[in-house]
Chains A and B, each alone.
Chain A
Amino acid sequence: MNASTSRFSLIGSSHLFGVIDQYVGKLPDNGFQRAWDTGVPATGALDLGGPPGWQGEFVLFNTPAAGPPPEVRDGMLYLPEQLGRVLGSVSADSRCIFSLMRGHEYAVASLVDDPAHADFSDAHGPSLVGRRWMSRADALAWVREFADPIVATVVALRQHFPRSHIVQVPPPPPIESEAHILAHPESFGALFAAYGIKPFEMRLRLYRLMTADLAARLQPYGIASLQPPPGALTPAGGLHEDFARGCLHGNHEYARLLGEQVKAYLNTLGAAHASV
């Protein structure tokens, strides 16, 4: 890379699929399967069509290949070696790294209407009538059980690339259409059959709580957070089914809007930066 070009990277697992569909296409040499089978991340060029002076790359990995979830305990980062190897697949000179890592931890909690789950109130409204209630503080403590690995993973990225801009890309908000979720249950079909799908309002409340908390906890590390692309959302704030892939992810159209967000963010950094 010449000195007048900056590199940016998108690293992630399943949340990166839509991006690869939209901007890369089928990976050469059966790259996707190889990454999943061997645990060695698939990497390649990522062309978002701009902004000028930037050159992109993707790093796609299978989450289990990154080892057990890292932890931040008492201010100390406990990092599995496997994650270190995965992060090592990001180009060392990457000036801005967008993390789409993890996020699957809250999938079951956010989707399946386990009767032991409770609702809570937030600034958008009260808890649902007829639902077990819990305080927002208790809900946050619960949400952190599945948000903590995300925080630790992105902090690990920060540690690996101390001179890079690090940006957390949240998973898409919950899909509003239950019909779409039922039609695309992925591996949750049996659980949906047993318990049903958690009402959209509850899923959205959980999502908002988690993403707001994530952003607040990452900010002190100098890690920015994006918001989900507004164009992919329903008026209520959920993911429109036209932008969904399966029951949890964004599709190539979502990725297109995300790509615009990435470009806009890179523009704020300015182009043509000396090598980092």
Chain B
Amino acid sequence: MHPYDHQPPQAFWRKTVSAKAWGELDFKPATKFKLTPALKIATAGSCFAQHMANRLQSFGLSHWVVEQAPTGVSPARARELQYGVFSARYANVYTVRQLRQLVEFAFGLRPDDSPVLTEEDRLFDGLRPRIQPGGYETLADLRADRAWHLAQVRRLFTECDVFVFTLGLTEAWVEQGSGIVFPVCPGTAAGEFDPARHGFVNFEYPEILADLEWVREFVAGVNPGMRWIVTVSPVPLVATATKDPVIVASSYSKAVLRAVAGRFADAHEGVEYFPSFEIISSAQSFGQYLEGDLREVSPRGVNHVMRQFAGAFVEGGGGAVGEARVDIAGLAAAAAQVECEELLNARP
């Protein structure tokens, strides 16, 4: 007898990966907790996280949108203003440091002197440069919108039951002095790049894990019952600011984030890891879920991820999700709606 004799079938490559079709593999046989319709489930993260947000309701779960569009704003306009894309209008939160500073801003742990970008008399929130298409007319407008947003973020972390966070990038740009992290490099989505003010950083495992632990501990202080589901975006970098080729930089980035997510989940009873990254990016998938650019995830791939998600976290597997006919046109349309500022890094 040896320890492997007691391992379940999923522990053996030959019995599972070699023996089953990719779509039949169970990537998450057990979870520490389940999701139910009564739970307030909040979402944040990189652009891949938008798929999570989009699909939760189809499993009978509640995607808790704490920052709602004002009365009188049409659904199309609300979408343009990114209401409901995530639980609040923070747009894509690519790095864990961004998440940490969002919490710090929301709870008044740092003054809201966030950077403002300008372009032709219009003002842009440096931390959400595309949240208000065309920018703001006045600084007062920008600050008012931001103050309301941060109040909603505060409410989100105070009241939500489950926070689904998708880790996206390790690379980021920071404002020298303040250390504030931008979601995208200034000059891409709005404003101008200033090499004297804007510096590049490629966050490393220890500081990413420390940031994530800090957020968990802080939020536990205001909302002890909040649980986490962390996942890593399988979408590679659009562009890297390192000296490495983008595919090498992507591998590094995803490997670090995957390691952080795993360590974070292992360390806490209230934290789960969900393997979006493995479902899409493993070589054994033969790249079947990649779009023509070999970067974007196809609607079919998203569907696989979310079917696994529902099977793992929703009692009964989320109803008919697994058997439901895939509305390719609908999924494609939804995918086309995904806001990804990172794409601007590769803008010609």
Shortest CB–CB separation between residue A68 and chain B, in angstroms?
20
How many whole Å from B166's CB to the nearest CB in chain A? 27
Q: Which residues of B contact A135 (CB under 8 A)?
A: 132, 136-137, 141
B77 at the interface (CB under 8 A from A): yes
Residues of chain A contacted by B151 (CB below 8 angstroms)? 130
Flag whether A117 is at the interface (Cβ < 8 A): yes
Q: Which of A125-173 contact B (CB under 8 A)?
A: 126-127, 129-136, 138-139, 141-143, 145
In the assembled complex, how far is the CB of residue A209 from the closest CB belonging to chain B, in whole angstroms? 12
Interface residues of B in 67-119 (CB under 8 A from A): 68, 70-74, 77, 81
B77 touches A141 (CB 8 A): yes
Interface pair A142/B141, CB less than 8 Å apart? no
Given contacts A129-B147, A131-B148, A132-B148, whether A138 and B140 have CB atoms under 8 Å apart is no
Q: Which residues of A contact B136 (CB under 8 A)?
A: 135
Main secondary structure on A side of the interface with B: loop
Q: Once the chains are docked, how many angstroms separate the CA of A145 from the CA of B136?
A: 23
B10 at the interface (CB under 8 A from A): no
The listed residue (B68, B72, B140) touching A141 by CB distance below 8 A is B72
Are B70 and A118 in contact, CB atoms less than 8 angstroms apart? yes
Complex partner residue of A142 from B72, B132, B138, B148, CB under 8 angstroms: B72
Q: Number of contacting residues on B, CB 8 A? A: 19
Is B222 in contact with chain A by the CB < 8 A criterion? no
Which residue of the partner chain B has the closest CB to A128?
B144
| B269 CB within 8 Å of chain A | no
Measured CB to CB, the closest approach of chain A to B122, in angstroms, equals: 11
Task: Output the nearest chain A residue to B141 by Cβ-Cβ distance.
Answer: A121
For the complex, what is the distance from the CA of A142 to the CA of B137, rounded to whole Å? 19
Q: Which chain B positions have C-beta within 8 A of A179? A: none
Which of these, B68, B70, B144, contacts A138 with CB under 8 Å? B70
The count of chain A contact residues (Cβ–Cβ below 8 Å) is 24
Distance between B138 CB and nearest chain A CB, rounded to angstroms: 6
Q: Does B145 contact A (CB under 8 A)?
A: yes
Cα A143 to Cα B73 in complex, Å, equals: 10
Q: Which residues of the partner chain B approach A145 to less than 8 Å between Cβ atoms?
A: 72
In the complex, what residues of A have CB within 8 A of residue B81's CB? Answer: 138
Residues A134 and B140 in contact, CB atoms below 8 Å apart: no
A133-B145 CB under 8 A given contacts A121-B140, A141-B77? yes
Contact B73 A134 (CB under 8 A): yes
**A114: CB under 8 A from chain B?**
yes
- Distance in angstroms between the alpha carbons of A129 and B70 in the assembled complex: 16
Interface string of A95-121 (1 = CB under 8 A from B): 000000000000001000010111111
- Cα A229 to Cα B137 in complex, Å, equals 32
Q: Which residue of A lies closest to B71 (CB)?
A: A116
Please name all residues of chain A whose beta carbon is closer than 8 Å to the beta carbon of B68 when the two chains form the complex: 116
B131-186, CB < 8 A from A = 132, 136-138, 140-141, 144-145, 147-148, 151
Cβ–Cβ contact A127 & B141, under 8 A: yes
- Bound state CA distance, A127 and B148, in angstroms? 11
> Which residues does chain A contribute within 8 Å of B141, judged by CB atoms?
120-121, 126-127, 133, 135
User: Is there contact, CB below 8 Å, between B70 and A132?
Assistant: yes
* Distance (whole angstroms) from the CB of A109 to the closest CB of chain B: 7
Chain B residues with CB under 8 A of A126: 138, 140-141, 144
Instruction: List chain B residues, Cβ under 8 A from A120.
Output: 141
Q: How far is the CB of A218 from chain B (nearest CB, A)?
A: 22
B69, closest chain A residue (CB): A116
Assembled-state Cα–Cα distance A138/B145 (Å)? 13
Cβ of A139 to closest chain B Cβ, rounded Å: 8
Nearest CB of B to A115, in Å: 9
Asked whether, in the complex, the Cβ of B148 is within 8 Å of the Cβ of A138, the reply is no
Q: Are A114 and B72 in contact (CB under 8 A)?
A: no
Residue pair B138, A121 in contact (C-beta under 8 Å)? yes
| Pairwise interchain contact B144-A121, C-beta atoms closer than 8 A | yes
Q: What residues of chain A lie closer than 8 Å to B140, measured between beta carbons?
A: 121, 126-127
Sorted nearest first, the 5 A-B pairs with minimum C-beta distance are A142-B72, A118-B70, A126-B140, A133-B144, A133-B145
B residues near A, CB below 8 A? Answer: 68, 70-74, 77, 81, 132, 136-138, 140-141, 144-145, 147-148, 151
Some 27 contacts from A to B, beta carbons below 8 A apart, are A109-B72, A114-B71, A116-B70, A116-B71, A118-B70, A118-B71, A119-B144, A120-B141, A121-B140, A126-B141, A127-B144, A130-B147, A130-B151, A131-B144, A131-B148, A132-B70, A133-B148, A134-B70, A135-B137, A135-B141, A138-B70, A138-B81, A141-B72, A141-B74, A141-B77, A142-B70, A143-B72
Besides A132-B70, A141-B72, 5 other CB < 8 A contacts? A121-B140, A129-B144, A130-B151, A134-B73, A138-B73
